[in-house]
Amino acid sequence: MTLEIDETAQARFDRERAALFPPGRTQVGAHVTLFHALPGEREPELTAELALAAAAREPFPVEVGELMSLGRGVAYRLRSAELLGLHRELQTLWWDQLGPQDRQGYRPHVTVQNKVSPEVASRTLGELRQRFAPFPITARAVRLWRYDGGPWTFRERFALGCHDRRSMP
């Protein structure tokens, strides 16, 4: 499950990810992970709960607050009380179905480089920090995906603030 952000921010992160990832080492574009694995057999129940949680919130601001080292990559750390609240609500609701990775504390970020040597990552971090200033983006929706052994298949979009799932773009 990922957070959908505004198009301008998405395009920026996608460009950086395409330029900074080793060729052929990424299967997906830039994204903000909310949960890594949810039980597929509970998809109808989970989507109903997710629709309610998304409808209860309007699109909200998120600050791209700083760059962070991943050791073998670089990411942008995100700050948003609303994002943390959404995650906490769903994590509490789904606790018994979550694996260890999704039961941990949530540290929202967008990875723009990974799977490189620590030296390359350190150099990238330094270069990006030279021109970085915090900036706002907007959370617009939550997207549900299914893992198909390499590629991911889009399942459904839950627009924030939308009370009618049939009218969601």
Pairing type for strands 74-79 and 152-159 reads: unpaired
- State which H helix or E strand residue 89 sits in: helix 81-94
Torsion of CA 165, 163, 14, 138, to 10 degrees: 180
**Domain parsing of the chain, residue ranges:** 2-65+79-106+136-167
- Tens-digit pLDDT string for the chain (169 aa): 999 999 999 999 999 999 999 887 676 789 999 999 999 899 999 999 999 999 999 999 999 999 999 999 999 999 999 999 999 999 999 999 999 999 999 999 999 999 999 999 999 999 999 999 999 999 999 999 998 877 789 999 999 998 765 444 4
d(CA 96, CA 47): 16
Rounded Cα distance between 160 and 85, Å, is 14
CA 81 to chain centre: 15
pLDDT value, residue 166: 45
